[in-house]
Structure 1
Amino acid sequence: MGFFKTRKNKKFSYTPRHYKGEGNPYEIKHKFDDFRTTVGSNKGLKTKFISAWDDYRNNADKNADKRVLIIVSILVLIFLFIIGFDLSIFFSKS
Protein backbone atom coordinates (compact mmCIF):
# COMPACT_ATOMS: atom_id res chain seq x y z
CA MET A 1 0.00 0.00 0.00
CA GLY A 2 1.80 3.09 -1.22
CA PHE A 3 -0.91 5.55 -0.23
CA PHE A 4 0.79 6.91 2.88
CA LYS A 5 4.42 6.92 1.73
CA THR A 6 6.01 10.24 0.83
CA ARG A 7 7.65 10.61 -2.53
CA LYS A 8 11.37 11.17 -2.68
CA ASN A 9 12.66 13.95 -4.91
CA LYS A 10 14.77 13.03 -7.92
CA LYS A 11 18.46 13.80 -7.59
CA PHE A 12 20.59 14.88 -10.50
CA SER A 13 24.35 15.34 -10.61
CA TYR A 14 24.28 18.66 -12.47
CA THR A 15 26.99 21.20 -11.73
CA PRO A 16 26.90 24.68 -13.22
CA ARG A 17 29.54 25.51 -15.82
CA HIS A 18 31.12 28.49 -14.05
CA TYR A 19 30.75 27.36 -10.43
CA LYS A 20 34.09 27.08 -8.62
CA GLY A 21 33.00 26.21 -5.08
CA GLU A 22 32.63 23.17 -2.90
CA GLY A 23 29.39 21.30 -2.46
CA ASN A 24 26.15 21.65 -4.31
CA PRO A 25 25.07 25.27 -4.91
CA TYR A 26 21.43 24.20 -5.23
CA GLU A 27 21.27 22.36 -1.91
CA ILE A 28 18.64 23.87 0.35
CA LYS A 29 19.69 23.38 3.94
CA HIS A 30 18.69 25.16 7.12
CA LYS A 31 21.56 26.58 9.12
CA PHE A 32 20.58 24.67 12.28
CA ASP A 33 20.19 21.24 10.67
CA ASP A 34 23.65 20.15 11.85
CA PHE A 35 22.67 20.70 15.48
CA ARG A 36 19.22 19.07 15.48
CA THR A 37 18.52 15.41 15.97
CA THR A 38 14.90 15.57 14.83
CA VAL A 39 15.72 16.65 11.27
CA GLY A 40 15.89 13.84 8.76
CA SER A 41 13.84 11.12 7.21
CA ASN A 42 11.99 9.71 10.20
CA LYS A 43 9.91 6.78 9.07
CA GLY A 44 7.03 6.56 11.50
CA LEU A 45 5.10 8.45 14.12
CA LYS A 46 6.71 6.48 16.94
CA THR A 47 10.22 7.27 15.66
CA LYS A 48 9.37 10.95 15.32
CA PHE A 49 7.99 11.05 18.86
CA ILE A 50 11.00 9.21 20.32
CA SER A 51 13.51 11.47 18.57
CA ALA A 52 11.62 14.61 19.66
CA TRP A 53 11.48 13.31 23.25
CA ASP A 54 15.23 12.57 23.22
CA ASP A 55 15.92 16.04 21.85
CA TYR A 56 13.76 17.55 24.60
CA ARG A 57 15.43 15.48 27.35
CA ASN A 58 18.96 16.32 26.16
CA ASN A 59 18.24 20.03 26.06
CA ALA A 60 20.59 21.94 28.35
CA ASP A 61 18.39 25.04 28.56
CA LYS A 62 16.30 24.70 31.73
CA ASN A 63 14.57 28.05 31.14
CA ALA A 64 12.94 26.54 28.07
CA ASP A 65 11.46 23.77 30.25
CA LYS A 66 9.90 26.32 32.58
CA ARG A 67 8.64 28.33 29.64
CA VAL A 68 6.96 25.27 28.10
CA LEU A 69 5.27 24.39 31.39
CA ILE A 70 3.98 27.95 31.84
CA ILE A 71 2.62 28.07 28.28
CA VAL A 72 0.92 24.67 28.63
CA SER A 73 -0.67 25.62 31.96
CA ILE A 74 -1.99 28.91 30.55
CA LEU A 75 -3.45 27.10 27.54
CA VAL A 76 -5.13 24.52 29.79
CA LEU A 77 -6.67 27.28 31.94
CA ILE A 78 -7.93 29.09 28.84
CA PHE A 79 -9.44 25.83 27.58
CA LEU A 80 -11.15 25.19 30.92
CA PHE A 81 -12.51 28.75 30.92
CA ILE A 82 -13.89 28.35 27.39
CA ILE A 83 -15.72 25.11 28.14
CA GLY A 84 -17.10 26.54 31.38
CA PHE A 85 -15.42 24.19 33.84
CA ASP A 86 -16.43 24.91 37.43
CA LEU A 87 -13.48 24.87 39.85
CA SER A 88 -15.75 24.80 42.92
CA ILE A 89 -15.86 20.99 42.85
CA PHE A 90 -12.34 20.96 44.31
CA PHE A 91 -13.28 23.01 47.37
CA SER A 92 -15.43 21.82 50.28
CA LYS A 93 -18.63 23.68 51.25
CA SER A 94 -18.25 23.40 55.03
Structure 2
Amino acid sequence: MGILNTRKNKKYSYQPRYYKGEGNPYELKHKFDDFRVTAGSDKGLKTKLNNAVGDYKYNADTNGANRRVVYIVAALILIFLFIIDFDLSIFFPNR
Protein backbone atom coordinates (compact mmCIF):
# COMPACT_ATOMS: atom_id res chain seq x y z
CA MET A 1 0.00 0.00 0.00
CA GLY A 2 1.58 3.24 -1.16
CA ILE A 3 1.51 6.54 0.62
CA LEU A 4 0.03 8.51 -2.27
CA ASN A 5 -2.25 5.84 -3.75
CA THR A 6 -5.74 5.34 -2.41
CA ARG A 7 -7.09 1.88 -1.82
CA LYS A 8 -9.71 0.61 -4.28
CA ASN A 9 -12.83 -1.20 -3.13
CA LYS A 10 -13.17 -4.88 -3.92
CA LYS A 11 -15.72 -5.86 -6.55
CA TYR A 12 -17.65 -9.11 -6.54
CA SER A 13 -19.81 -10.57 -9.30
CA TYR A 14 -22.40 -12.19 -7.05
CA GLN A 15 -25.84 -12.81 -8.53
CA PRO A 16 -28.73 -14.14 -6.41
CA ARG A 17 -30.09 -17.59 -7.19
CA TYR A 18 -33.69 -16.66 -8.01
CA TYR A 19 -33.09 -13.24 -9.60
CA LYS A 20 -34.39 -13.13 -13.19
CA GLY A 21 -33.73 -9.50 -14.06
CA GLU A 22 -30.92 -7.95 -16.06
CA GLY A 23 -27.69 -6.90 -14.43
CA ASN A 24 -26.71 -7.21 -10.83
CA PRO A 25 -29.27 -5.92 -8.29
CA TYR A 26 -26.48 -5.29 -5.77
CA GLU A 27 -24.40 -3.14 -8.11
CA LEU A 28 -23.43 0.14 -6.49
CA LYS A 29 -23.82 2.92 -9.02
CA HIS A 30 -23.77 6.65 -8.53
CA LYS A 31 -27.04 8.44 -9.12
CA PHE A 32 -25.70 10.80 -11.80
CA ASP A 33 -23.28 8.50 -13.66
CA ASP A 34 -25.46 8.49 -16.77
CA PHE A 35 -25.51 12.28 -17.01
CA ARG A 36 -21.87 13.31 -16.54
CA VAL A 37 -18.39 12.17 -17.38
CA THR A 38 -16.68 13.48 -14.24
CA ALA A 39 -17.96 10.66 -12.00
CA GLY A 40 -15.59 8.04 -13.42
CA SER A 41 -12.39 6.74 -11.87
CA ASP A 42 -9.98 8.90 -13.86
CA LYS A 43 -6.36 8.85 -12.82
CA GLY A 44 -4.68 12.21 -13.31
CA LEU A 45 -5.50 15.67 -12.07
CA LYS A 46 -5.26 17.05 -15.60
CA THR A 47 -7.80 14.51 -16.87
CA LYS A 48 -10.18 15.27 -14.02
CA LEU A 49 -9.87 19.01 -14.64
CA ASN A 50 -10.39 18.64 -18.41
CA ASN A 51 -13.48 16.46 -17.84
CA ALA A 52 -14.93 18.95 -15.35
CA VAL A 53 -14.37 21.90 -17.69
CA GLY A 54 -15.88 19.97 -20.62
CA ASP A 55 -18.88 18.99 -18.51
CA TYR A 56 -19.34 22.61 -17.45
CA LYS A 57 -19.06 23.92 -21.04
CA TYR A 58 -21.27 21.50 -22.92
CA ASN A 59 -24.13 20.92 -20.48
CA ALA A 60 -26.88 23.48 -20.42
CA ASP A 61 -27.56 25.33 -17.18
CA THR A 62 -31.31 24.81 -16.92
CA ASN A 63 -31.96 26.16 -13.43
CA GLY A 64 -29.50 29.06 -13.28
CA ALA A 65 -27.26 27.22 -10.82
CA ASN A 66 -24.06 28.66 -12.29
CA ARG A 67 -25.33 32.20 -11.91
CA ARG A 68 -26.42 31.44 -8.35
CA VAL A 69 -22.94 30.17 -7.49
CA VAL A 70 -21.39 33.36 -8.87
CA TYR A 71 -23.74 35.49 -6.76
CA ILE A 72 -22.96 33.52 -3.60
CA VAL A 73 -19.19 33.75 -4.19
CA ALA A 74 -19.43 37.50 -4.84
CA ALA A 75 -21.44 38.03 -1.65
CA LEU A 76 -18.95 36.00 0.40
CA ILE A 77 -16.04 37.99 -1.02
CA LEU A 78 -17.75 41.28 -0.16
CA ILE A 79 -18.47 40.06 3.37
CA PHE A 80 -14.83 39.01 3.75
CA LEU A 81 -13.62 42.40 2.50
CA PHE A 82 -15.97 44.13 4.95
CA ILE A 83 -14.66 42.00 7.84
CA ILE A 84 -11.01 42.82 7.11
CA ASP A 85 -11.97 46.51 6.68
CA PHE A 86 -10.84 46.78 3.08
CA ASP A 87 -11.29 50.20 1.50
CA LEU A 88 -13.56 49.73 -1.54
CA SER A 89 -13.12 53.34 -2.68
CA ILE A 90 -10.04 52.38 -4.75
CA PHE A 91 -12.40 50.83 -7.31
CA PHE A 92 -14.35 54.06 -7.88
CA PRO A 93 -12.95 57.19 -9.59
CA ASN A 94 -12.37 60.29 -7.47
CA ARG A 95 -14.79 63.15 -8.13
- State TM-score, norm by structure 2: 0.79
What's the CA shift for 1:7? Answer: 1.6
Residue 19 of structure 1 corresponds to 19
Gaps of 5+ in 1: none
Residue 51 of structure 2 corresponds to 51
Gaps of 5+ in 2: none
Moved more, 62-71 or 75-84: 62-71
Distance 2:3 2:40 in 1: 21
What's the CA shift for 1:3? Answer: 1.3
Alpha-carbon distance change, 45 to 83 in structure 1, aligned in 2, over 3 angstroms: farther
Distance 1:9 1:91 in 2: 55
Q: Which segments of structure 1 move beyond 6 Å, counting only runs of 4 or more? A: none
Residue 86 of structure 2 corresponds to 85
Equivalent position SS for 1:27:
coil
CA RMSD of aligned residues (A): 2.2
Residue 4 of structure 2 corresponds to 4
Distance 1:44 1:83 in 2: 37
Question: What does 1:57-76 align with in structure 2 at a 5 Å threshold?
Answer: 57-61=57-61, 63-76=64-77
Distance 1:90 1:13 in 2: 62
What is the aligned length? 94
- State TM-score, norm by structure 1: 0.80
What's the CA shift for 1:58? Answer: 1.0
Percent identity among equivalent residues? Answer: 68
Larger RCO: Structure 1 or Structure 2 (Cα < 8 Å, ≥ 6 residues apart)?
A: 1
